[in-house]
Amino acid sequence: MLDYVTDKVQDEARQGEAFAPYASDPNEYKKRFYIESYGCQMNFADSEVVAAILNKEGFGATRNVEEADLIFINTCSIREKAEQTVRKRLTEFRKLKERKRGMLVGVLGCMAERLKSQFLEEEKLVDIVVGPDAYRTLPALVGEAEGGQKAVNVLLSREETYADISPVRLDSNGVSAFVSIMRGCNNMCSFCVVPFTRGRERSRDAASILIECRDLFEKGYREVTLLGQNVDSYYFVDETKDETVTFAKLLEKTALISPLLRVRFSTSHPKDITDDVLYTMAKYENICKYIHLPVQSGSTRVLQLMNRTYTREWYMAKVDRIREIMPECGISSDIIAGFCTEEEEDHRATLDIMKYSRYDFSYMFFYSERPGTLAQRRYKDDIPEDVKKRRLQEIVEVQNRLSLESNQKDVGKIFKVLIEGDSKKNEKEWKGRNTQNKVIVFPKENPELKKGDYVNVKVTDCTQATLLGEIV
Ligand code: 5AD
Ligand code: SF4
């Protein structure tokens, strides 16, 4: 899945520039809510659905936690550390609550789903607990909590996709947006908690996705990322038109909105990405040449224990196929170090497949056992922490080298770049991305250019993380 996580993602989101949903007049709304998101892009997209639901009920967003009547924290359970971060934040909110009587705290998302009413009973940290499929009931739950009742809804659904809700863009840069195309996950990767927290896989109505993307384009957005835990298994039957929409078809329909709208997607499961998708990507210039293709491990034995349903060779053949159809395609990965029973030989196979795949980028983790998962029930978490950390370190070192090599190969090349905004370090420079999803920073020079414009940039230098260039 997507990444994930981290306060870094959160910080970047906070630095966004479009403040549309935040009321300028403090009396405009009957109540003010503050929402903080952790975890994957899907979670950030969900927070925008939550904001839309609350807006409709007369609640306005604020980014000042001190002036909020309601605090929501949209949580992640993927690794223990993600949960610890949330707990720490909740204890900070509790202190605020002691000062501000009547303020309510709600836990949303994966941790709410995993821990359910335990949050209300044992911890007394929060007033409202809502799982990922129950956000429509949030206004009613707020009412219950205000009346002093315990407010919980963690029912998972087989149908809910929030298709009819147009998300309120929070902290967006006004150029790129995430659009959720499906929810849940039917893969049973043995390490992963997601099937338990987000339920069964279901695809969103294709027409509603296209309406949302078209609307974004009309509002000036120039890039959409179609989001799902496993986008390649997107499948929607449109009975009104007697049409079956696969992921390849959906990609094509989105690309046809306008050649000026870039289309990205995440995440692909190596077992499901089809030639049809690859050929559709190759056919349309505005479908970005970048695939996030998590490998998790390079050892067939470990992949089997992880229930990934592909072998090392099968994955390598998929990488070959991508490069054959789109030689210039960027590829990134997720990698787990120290899964149950992992031997040095398995670890070396992971380092080796990284080099084979020449990833431009990877999200790298050490294995964190999650309660209720297949791995937790079946296998012992038997790799000592120091070994996990050392292996992770070796993985990070290989990736750093690969990223640098990949960037060095781009020096001298010219890329079409979509301008996303000011560079973080210097407001005299723009920051944008090329089709391969690499960040490029370059001096502004031409005063007529603005965010959302495309510009050709020649790469003159690079670091391991960023390309540096100049407009040509
Ligand atoms: N421990 C460590 N990493 C995990 N991931 C998922 N579950 C775990 C876990 N229990 C990683 C996988 C996945 C990404 C979203 O997070 O690499 O692709
Ligand atoms: Fe996203 Fe939930 Fe998975 Fe975290 S646990 S990465 S929030 S789906």
**Ligand 1 center to residue 277 CA distance, Å?**
25
Same domain, 130 and 39: yes
pLDDT exceeds cutoff 70 at 12: no
Check: CB of residue 205 under 8 Å from CB of residue 219: no
Dist. CA 153–CA 137, nearest whole Å? 8
The two three-digit tokens of residue 366, written as one number: 């050490």
Check: CB of residue 301 under 8 Å from CB of residue 308: no
Same domain, 391 and 421: no
Domain that holds residue 342: 321-409
Instruction: State whether residue 403 is helix, strand or coil.
Output: helix
Check: CB of residue 104 under 8 Å from CB of residue 138: no
The two three-digit tokens of residue 128, written as one number: 């409202």
Atom of ligand 2 nearest to the CA of 110: 2
Atom of ligand 1 nearest to the CA of 267: 18
The two three-digit tokens of residue 315, written as one number: 């994955």
Pocket test for ligand 1, best of 336, 339, 399 (most atoms within 8 A of CB): 336
Total domains in the fold of the chain: 4
Atom of ligand 1 nearest to the CA of 191: 10
CB contact set of 310 (below 8 Å; sequence gap of 6+): 270, 271, 303, 318
Q: Once rounded to an integer, what is the mean pLDDT over residues 46-67? A: 94
Each residue of 302-355: pLDDT tens digit?
999 999 999 999 999 999 999 999 999 999 999 999 999 999 999 999 999 999
The CA-atom distances, in angstroms, between 228 and each of 1, 30, 69, 157, 225 are 8, 34, 32, 16, 10
Share of the chain above pLDDT 70, in %: 94
* Sign of the torsion formed by the C-alpha atoms of 379, 382, 386 and 388: negative
**Closest ligand, as measured to the CA of 192:** 1
Predicted pLDDT of residue 13: 34
Predicted pLDDT of residue 167: 96
Pairing of strands 429-433, 439-443: antiparallel
In a domain, 256, yes or no: yes
**Ligand 2 center to residue 194 CA distance, Å?**
6
Predicted pLDDT of residue 404: 98
- Find the CATH number of the domain harbouring 462: 2.40.50.140
Same domain, 251 and 349: no
Atom of ligand 1 nearest to the CA of 334: 17
Which burial class, exposed, middle or buried, applies to 417 when counting CB atoms under 10 A from its CB (0-12, 13-18, 19+)? Answer: buried
Q: Once rounded to an integer, what is the mean pLDDT over residues 387-398? A: 98
Atom of ligand 1 nearest to the CA of 366: 2
In a domain, 278, yes or no: yes
In a domain, 309, yes or no: no
Q: What type of residue sits at position 12?
A: E
Dist. CA 45–CA 52, nearest whole Å? 11
- Find the CATH number of the domain harbouring 188: 3.30.750.210
Same domain, 42 and 115: yes
State the CB neighbour count (10 A cutoff) for residue 242: 7
Chosen domain end from 269, 288, 307: 288
Each residue of 282-293: pLDDT tens digit?
999 999 999 999
Same domain, 208 and 179: yes
Predicted pLDDT of residue 314: 98
Same domain, 341 and 397: yes
CB contact set of 122 (below 8 Å; sequence gap of 6+): none
Low-confidence winner among 20-24, 247-251, 463-467 (lowest mean pLDDT)? 20-24
Q: Once rounded to an integer, what is the mean pLDDT over residues 47-59? A: 95
In a domain, 304, yes or no: no
CA-nearest residue for atom 8, ligand 2, is 194
pTM across the whole model: 0.93
Atom of ligand 2 nearest to the CA of 77: 5
The two three-digit tokens of residue 66, written as one number: 């001190």
More confident residue, 136 or 20: 136
Each residue of 62-117: pLDDT tens digit?
999 999 999 999 999 999 999 999 999 999 998 898 888 889 999 999 999 999 88
Q: What type of residue sits at position 109?
A: G
Same domain, 425 and 388: no
In a domain, 74, yes or no: yes
Check: CB of residue 122 under 8 Å from CB of residue 39: no
Dist. CA 4–CA 10, nearest whole Å? 10
Same domain, 38 and 135: yes
Dist. CA 56–CA 336, nearest whole Å? 41
Chosen domain end from 389, 409, 429: 409
Q: Once rounded to an integer, what is the mean pLDDT over residues 424-444? A: 96
pLDDT exceeds cutoff 80 at 465: yes
Chosen domain end from 228, 263, 288: 288
The two three-digit tokens of residue 157, written as one number: 């659904």
Same domain, 38 and 149: yes
Mean residue pLDDT of the chain comes to 92
CA-nearest residue for atom 13, ligand 1, is 1
**Closest ligand, as measured to the CA of 332:** 1
Predicted pLDDT of residue 4: 36
Q: Is the peptide bond before 463 cis (omega within 30 degrees of 0)?
A: no
Q: Which pLDDT band holds residue 61 (cuts at 50, 70, 90)?
A: very high
Dist. CA 454–CA 452, nearest whole Å? 7
Q: Which pLDDT band holds residue 26 (cuts at 50, 70, 90)?
A: low
Check: CB of residue 454 under 8 Å from CB of residue 420: no
Predicted pLDDT of residue 22: 54
In a domain, 29, yes or no: yes
CA-nearest residue for atom 1, ligand 2, is 40
In the beta sheet, which residues pair with residue 101?
none
Predicted pLDDT of residue 120: 82
* Sign of the torsion formed by the C-alpha atoms of 40, 45, 46 and 50: positive
- Find the CATH number of the domain harbouring 22: 3.40.50.12160
In a domain, 423, yes or no: yes
Same domain, 147 and 210: no
Same domain, 400 and 426: no
Residues with CB under 6 A from ligand 1: 1, 4, 78-79, 191-192, 294, 296, 334, 336, 365, 367-368, 370
**What kind and span of H or E run contains 337?**
strand 330-337
Same domain, 22 and 121: yes
**Ligand 2 center to residue 41 CA distance, Å?**
9
Pocket test for ligand 1, best of 79, 310, 370 (most atoms within 8 A of CB): 79
In a domain, 5, yes or no: no
